[in-house]
Amino acid sequence: MPEEQQDNARDRIRTSFFGRPGRGHWIVAGLLFVLGFAAATQVARQSTDDLSGLRQTDLVRAFDGLAASTERAEKEIDRLKSDRDRLKTSTSSRETAVDLARQEETALGILSGTVAAHGPGVRITITDPDSKVSAAILLDMVQELRATGAEAMEFNDRVRVVAQTSFEDSAEGIRVGGELVTAPYVIDVIGESSALEGALDFPFGPVERVEDAGGTLTTTKDDDIVVDAVVPVGEPKFAQPDTDR
């Protein structure tokens, strides 16, 4: 490039950066300012959208649910610390370990549905006059109850619900774990009753979804809910107990 053209190019660049801004510069700066302000406003708005649309009562219910979850976590921490201290300080640590193992075996049996159980909880009754309550609604409800600490659950006094239980729509009703159950659906749940009720009644939760489908969902607290339906224990096909240890 000739030396004269290089000098002209350098002059144009210097003028663009250090010269007096023209009308075009001010227009571009104004557009950039507006875009930046809009982006910042959108980010702030998105961070509050999840809560800004809720009513005061809904916010209170959401807060109560978080408080209940925190309380359950703190109780579990205290229990584990107590077990640790017992193992550390007990003069008969072997007996303590055996006792804890038996307790764990019972707890796992309840969670896996292989043993009957009873305890405080709630009985949930769902009516479905229009047959619009779907398997997806019931499955979401079960997941909410599990997340809130449900320890044992059964449908219509005969189908135990465990982690592997399937939910499928059918023409006659809903198949839970392969077995047909029909409305009204009665679900017995063992756990902390107040927390279980909170897992059902919140914005867009099970109560609201059932009502949108034309049904009703009611709960009744009980100090001794009985869950006696059990899941059959299958025989292992490949594994064998190790008797050498």
Residue 30 counted as domain residue: no
Residue 168 counted as domain residue: yes
Q: What is the pLDDT of residues 51-96, one digit of tens each?
A: 566 666 666 666 666 676 677 777 778 777 777 776 666 555 667 6
Average pLDDT in the 192-220 region? 94
Residue 38 counted as domain residue: no
CB 176 within 8 A of CB 155: yes
Residue 244 counted as domain residue: no
Tokens of 135: 């398997």
Residue 225: CATH number of its domain: 3.30.70.1880
Q: Pick the closest to residue 161 from 137, 182, 184, 138 (CA basis).
A: 138
- Domain hosting 154: range is 55-231
pLDDT of residue 190: 96
Residue 110 counted as domain residue: yes
Q: What is the pLDDT of residues 136-172, one digit of tens each?
A: 999 999 999 999 999 999 999 999 999 889 999 998 9
Helix axes 56-89, 93-112, angle to 10 degrees: 150
pTM for the model stands at 0.61
Residue 41 counted as domain residue: no
Residue 94 counted as domain residue: yes
Residue 89 counted as domain residue: yes
Q: How many domains does the chain have?
A: 1
Q: What is the pLDDT of residues 107-138, one digit of tens each?
A: 777 888 889 999 999 999 999 999 999 999 99
